[in-house]
Amino acid sequence: MTSPLVTQEELDRRTIRRSDFVSCNQAFIDCRTPGSDQKENYAMVGPGVTQSSSQVVNLREPHGYNIGAAAMPHGITNNLHLHFTAEVFLCFRGEYLLRWGAEGEEGELTLREGDIASVPTWIFRGFTNTGPDDGWLFTCLGHDETGGIIWGPTVLREAEGHGLYLTSDNQLVDTVAGEQLPDSEELVRPMDPADIASLVDYSADDMRRYVATRDDLEWCDRAFLCGVVPSGRAELALVIGFGMTENRRQEPRIYHPHGHNIAWLRADPGEGLLTHRHSETQVLMVKEGEWEVRLNHHDEVTVRLGPWDMLSVPAGAWRSMRNVSDSPATMAVVNGGDGRVRLEWADEVVKAAADAGVARDHNGYLAPAHLVPASAPR
């Protein structure tokens, strides 16, 4: 594996502070629909499914997934729409009522702070802020090219009444602003009832399998080789995919392929993950506390991340992360790919773990060091 040397300039470019987030309130065709006109859309990594050319994207470099956010005051709704690739909601603040079906009639579930929900592809979904104040949902969409979305028939009809139309190449046309309406064959029309009837139905129990609440999380304090080494005692809770775990008994809440995997990482003050690297893209999204992230094995560069800050770590780069708060800190970790993320540890970590009696077997899982052949991976 080649390991890029990350400069301070490159680290700064890949660091997205909460203060760097730029909202767009004209991102979608329902931006004038009463009850939806106060939505704010954000695009931090990749453009997502925005339909506005004015959407600010913090980092356009392809990662194999897109990360954005939806923010809205109490009572405001994101209308029913359908995705072709995975759409994952990470609730960082507030409470949301998630509903699904072409008219939102199939079922409802409530998402609260700390919950993660992966809504199945090819079903209509929408959500309303039912919390007492402004809510915040980060979103992670599968793949670089998402294909855009299909809006519910009612949404498109209501938008026309406000002078907004959508072209087949996913661009908004605003006739109120004087934009020219293209030929009718270039415009998106409501989905045919027969096609809607062919979509798979999901009960509330079905959908619950795609949600990981805080109570559902199974934290593992021996997920990594460095877990037996001082300052390396981070805990991992898998949500989507097997991700980075090196514990053969740890399993994710959600299995099906997304093009990425997501897990929660937490650590007590002074603890974290020691020096390692892997070949996938990675985005760190801080939920609570303050983390210090170091890149490169030599000539280190360092950044401190606070709540809601995020960092895109280059594939193959050496990295370590440590809680520098006075209390436990938590972050969401997103890695590219559908398979396991195989870690390579720095030599000093391998040696310290072996001295503590732990190594990795040829399958990449933790095992007693005295039983593992010398040819096992680092």
Quick: pLDDT tens for 43-56.
Answer: 999 998 887 778 89
With bands split at pLDDT 50, 70 and 90, how would you rate the model's confidence at 141? very high
Lowest-confidence region among 173-177, 207-211, 367-371 = 173-177
pLDDT at residue 27, rounded to an integer: 61
How many residues are recorded in the chain? 378
Q: Note the helical H segments in 199-292.
A: 204-208
State the pTM of this model. 0.94
**Tokens at residue 211, please?**
């949600």
Q: Say which amino acid occupies 88.
A: V
Containing 8, the helix (H) or strand (E) segment is: helix 8-14
Assess contact for 311 and 14: CB atoms under 8 A: yes
**Tokens at residue 99, please?**
């509903």
Helix (H, G, I), strand (E, B) or coil at 9: helix
pLDDT at residue 182, rounded to an integer: 84
Q: Is the pLDDT of residue 158 over 90?
A: no
- Give the chain's domains with CATH numbers: 20-212 (2.60.120.10), 218-371 (2.60.120.10)
List b or e across 19-54, with b for residues whose CB sees 16 or more CB atoms inside 10 angstroms.
eebeebebbbbbbbbeebebbbbbbbbbbbbbbbee
